[in-house]
Structure 1
């Protein structure tokens, strides 16, 4: 289709040059239209930023050419003067129709940024789901710089179940935020399935989070005015999944997590452990590659905490989901495959608990 765009633009310019025998205005109109169209091609094929208004000229320009061509052809037909010029106008007419359709399809599909989700899935060849390379994060509070992470290097394999442990202020939540694309590093690289997310735009990061990452928070973050079912299906709704499909999947997940009798209840009527299991179902509804859990057992008693970890383990083993848990509880951390210790913004060591996963 690129050749159709190029031929149309070229013919339109030639047509404009030939129009010098007609009128200066016709010459100017056609040359301008031709160059605008060729310039628009740059946007359609990635040489101009996809969100640029120039992309939309690619739809306006062939429409303009189409209308002017029909008018000229009509004049030739009325005067029975179908010449070589008329033949070229007919070709331009056909190419205009093709390009209008192609421009429309290109613009309508540009809602999914290139080099993000689609290419992202194609690039998922690395054995590591998460890689951090020399990551530094510095927060600025007025003139004061507060270092949170200082040269962190980390690799997490696909299907691994990892705990990050450290005292308050050690940088473990900052580390989780960077892995979850909720924040950007000051320097260094954060790589998810082979893609450096540091280079993505805010819109691209939002799509990546919705598609690739599930979050479980200490405070559950459920919507109490909605039903349990509605809470679970919400990420799939945002992701564009059809209602019938997302409802069916949400019910299946809730039953898998032992919540089949709570589907139409409100979250506030459930126990803390049940609410956290609802949050887990919500986190995996879009089949993410990674679940990030920030102190998921922090508001629970020890029995409920172990149950939540058991269900996270179940998701890890049955779905192959990589799970990264931030915790200060040694007993909870020992339920994972590997414990990563962090202190003062640096990883100071790790413990391998299950070697068959590493």
Structure 2
């Protein structure tokens, strides 16, 4: 009997906390790792709390899209109206104008703004002067930190009727260009300023992707006598193709969403027919008019359509044999 007990202690019973029990040993390892990395887990609490409070908690407010929301009655006391809010929104010409403008501006941004950082990153990757490369990256990245209020002031000083650009044109004897009050000049200014602000951020992403390309491929191409263009086409671009695919899919998913700052700051009553977008529409009906049900319904519409576009773009990429986001 004693021999059996000794053998049982040596092997460890299911409820025993001895090292012989795999589940207990795994639990002890987990507790040891938590204790060892306690400060790292504490650092994770802040971003986790941010996501929980500002991303997940507001989802409860989606209920307002199906209510005749009353700010005094609150969500629990407001009357349920089903899909009446959506029917009202889809019956407004101003909503379709905002949706059309949002899609148009996002398409223009995609055409002009998506390839620009790729081209710039390739050009910088070919530069061999490290100091010049770093200075250029810094200068290009600085606009990313400027708020649209500051950028809007800069745009007005440069492109208004009495701005620096028109003053320069007048000194040359040329006529003034109404950059901020006519459709085509305004669109060109709007898209160009957006590309200028975001090109540095995109360039850094693609340059980071290029660092993962095997340098031996370039060395082998030098031995074979490949030109720079052939190396870019056959080595650099295939090396960053997965990054291009992922960023393209994500941008397609945002086709019905647009930031509030740029259209609001650069828009005015003279160009409202093509500067009024969904975000300014939500601001007008939600904040200015106090119709929170409409604003919530439009936001829900954007989220659903954006998710559908994202899934569709990812599905098409997978079908074509390219990398997706999952």
| TM-score relative to the length of structure 1 | 0.22
RCO comparison, higher one (Cα < 8 Å, 6+): 2
Larger % of helix: which? 2
| TM-score relative to the length of structure 2 | 0.24
